[in-house]
Chains A and B, each alone.
Chain A
């Protein structure tokens, strides 16, 4: 039955939401710190080979076991964090900026420019992303940089759509007319008034996109179109070791688990930030 939550329940929900926000931000920051200081955290040299201890099952000395060259898996997973997490964050930053610029521009100029830009973004949104990314990555050749470019090329339209609709909504606001009447230039109005007002939903979308992008980047590496061995990157580590799934499954599971945990943390954080910024949720009433 539809019931308005009591004030006490509303406060309780607000408090848990705040606690969740603090918990997940802390986890995300820890993850970032771990990837920044990965070299210091590694128990062993992630690239040092020692064939006498090759393919050892997880033990006290080697928590995730060793790979076929005797390299310590835990160290490799930790070093992989740097590549995987920072390239994902870079990618999300790129698509957020490009998408926002295109979206604001389309909404601002309007007319034919708007129509053409939006048709282009429709095409991108309708096609299965990964195949498109594969084509772009195939054209550019492998490598982590090219994988980032390929995914950026296909992922900006989502942000363009959001930025455009948000800007259009702002253009109808009284404050906007006032800013215009006051004689502000276009650039000044956009930077000083429109951008601060539309950043909320865009940032939430980009937070929620971190997990997806991390998985897609790992997917490209898995297919051999991203980071290349011996560089430690989670996607390529899984692909590299899957031939040994039968004899040494830990080699595949360790990087897989790392992707899973990181994606989970970023998804949880994204969800919480979205709820936190949603006035409906803060007021207690559930959407």
Chain B
């Protein structure tokens, strides 16, 4: 087990090198850099000043030199300083994490609370009115872009009712309410369908009829057996969602001025703030590997038939 985990963490290294190199290359191909963006719209600036600023950040050096000096710094724990704010990249990044973590935790929790009971209900009441109603609602939710949901919530909950603040002021559950609700609505709509399909498939298996024939109460079969096997699929989905939420939800974070890593990344991309972008890419790669690893471990815990290392991939 320990060896397996270690091997998976070692696998992180090629992923990290590959993805950071790719993103490094991509930003350089773009042609414009932080200096161009900074002096854009400031009228004519002496070329000497621009060159000096560029040399100052090391942007005049060949591409590979830049990459290896960044990688070297990274390995010694120095991720550089932001081109724009001049602040330490690692500190900047870490300061944005709590907001994203809070939003991720709250919206996943709300999604679970909404989608699992309703999905199970729809499956149990298959082809009855309740099922149709739940499916219709989830269909509507699936057809609404999340930024439009955000607008609707802003209008009805904040402007009309005045219940919640329009944009966040600081890190609190109250300011997190709107972004959480927006994300949970979009995710629940997706999950409802999948929970329903998974449970329905499980309910149609022979052992359920067997249990019924032996006189086991329906509720017992549902919660003890059916839910247990359905959980495997649901957990995989949840893990993937957690992964992408931890990457920050660029649109939602920008709309609600939620100061998380998604907004940081979008700002950094528009300003060509390479060190921040690189930090973000490293963060995403780590999440990618960790989420996969945790899913595998959970699989193993829930279904011992799945042998780690044998059925991996």
Of the listed stretches B68-76, B225-233, B247-255, name the one at the interface; the rest are far from the partner chain. B247-255
How distant is the Cα of A2 from the Cα of B212 in the complex, in angstroms?
Answer: 12
**Which one, A2, A126, A139, A211, contacts B29 given CB within 8 A?**
A139
B288: interface (CB < 8 Å) = yes
Contacts of B235 in A (CB 8 A): none
The reply on A62 being an interface residue by CB < 8 A is no
B145 pairs with A215, CB closer than 8 A: yes
Q: Please classify the interface of chain B as helix (H, G, I), strand (E, B), loop, or mixed, using the class held by over half of its residues.
A: helix
B-side interface residues, number (CB < 8 Å): 43
CB nearest to A271 among chain B residues:
B139
The number of chain A residues with a CB under 8 A from chain B is 38
The answer, yes or no, to whether B298 is at the interface (CB within 8 Å) is no
A91: Cβ under 8 A from any B Cβ: no
Of B85-93, B95-103, B107-115, B261-269, the one contacting chain A is: B261-269
The answer to whether A127 touches B284 (Cβ under 8 A) is: yes
Given contacts A123-B19, A256-B151, contact A264 B269 (CB under 8 A): no
Report yes or no: B148 in contact with A256, Cβ–Cβ below 8 A: yes
Q: A223 interface residue, CB < 8 Å from B?
A: yes
**In the bound complex, do residue A135 and residue B143 qualify as a contact, i.e. CB atoms below 8 Å apart?**
no
**Chain B window 232-262, contacts with chain A (Cβ cutoff 8 Å), 1 for yes, 0 for no:** 0000000010011001101100110000001
- Are the C-beta atoms of A263 and B145 separated by less than 8 Å? yes
A 117-154 to B, binary, CB cutoff 8 A, 1 in contact else 0: 00000010011101100111011110000000000000
- Determine whether the beta carbon of A222 is less than 8 Å from that of B147: yes
Q: Does chain B have a CB within 8 A of A16?
A: no
Q: Are B19 and A267 in contact (CB under 8 A)?
A: no
B270 within 8 A of A: yes
Q: How far is the CA of A223 from the CA of B145 in the complex (A)?
A: 13
Question: A232 in the interface, Cβ–Cβ < 8 Å?
Answer: no
Task: Name A126's closest neighbour in chain B (CB-CB).
Answer: B288
**B23 near A: Cβ within 8 Å?**
yes
Asked if residues B143 and A139 are in contact (CB atoms below 8 Å), the reply is: no
* Cβ < 8 Å to A, chain B residues 45-68: none
Assess whether A252 is interfacial by the CB under 8 Å rule: yes
> B143, B255, B284, B288: which contacts A267 (Cβ < 8 A)?
B143
Query: Tally of A-B residue pairs with Cβ under 8 A?
Result: 103
Q: Which residues of A contact B250 (CB under 8 A)?
A: 130-131, 134, 223
Interface presence of A259 (CB below 8 A): yes
B187 within 8 A of A: no
Chain B residues contacting A128 (CB-CB under 8 Å) are: 243-244, 247, 284
Known: A136-B26, A245-B159, A263-B145. A223 touches B19 (CB 8 A): no
Distance in angstroms between the alpha carbons of A131 and B251 in the assembled complex: 9
Q: A134-B265, A256-B148 are in contact. Are A127 and B288 (CB under 8 A)?
A: yes
Point out the residue from A139, A246, A260, A287 that lies within 8 Å of B26, measured CB to CB: A139
Chain B residues in 8 Å Cβ range of A223:
250-251, 254, 266
Cβ-closest chain A residue relative to B291: A126
Q: Is B302 an interface residue (CB 8 A)?
A: no
User: Which of B151, B209, B269 is the one whose CB lies under 8 Å from A2?
Assistant: B209
- Tell yes or no: A70 within 8 A of B by CB: no
Cβ A252 vs Cβ B284 within 8 A: no
Does B27 belong to the interface (CB within 8 Å)?
yes
Cβ-based interface call for A249 (8 A): yes
Give A123 to B292 CA distance when docked, in angstroms.
12
A68 at interface by CB-CB < 8 Å:
no
Residues of A within 8 A of B288 (CB): 123, 126-127
Interface string of B192-208 (1 = CB under 8 A from A): 00000000010010000
A256 to B153, CA, bound (A): 13
Task: List, sorted by A's number, 28 A–B pairs whose CB atoms are closer than 8 Å.
Answer: A123-B19, A126-B292, A128-B244, A128-B247, A130-B250, A135-B23, A135-B265, A140-B30, A211-B142, A215-B145, A219-B145, A222-B145, A223-B254, A235-B147, A238-B147, A242-B151, A242-B255, A246-B159, A252-B155, A253-B152, A256-B152, A259-B148, A260-B144, A260-B148, A263-B143, A264-B139, A267-B142, A287-B201
Where the two chains meet, the residues of B that have a C-beta atom closer than 8 Å to any C-beta of A are 15, 19, 23, 26-27, 29-30, 32, 139-140, 142-148, 151-152, 154-155, 159, 201, 204, 209, 240, 243-244, 247-248, 250-251, 254-255, 262, 265-266, 269-270, 277, 284, 288, 292
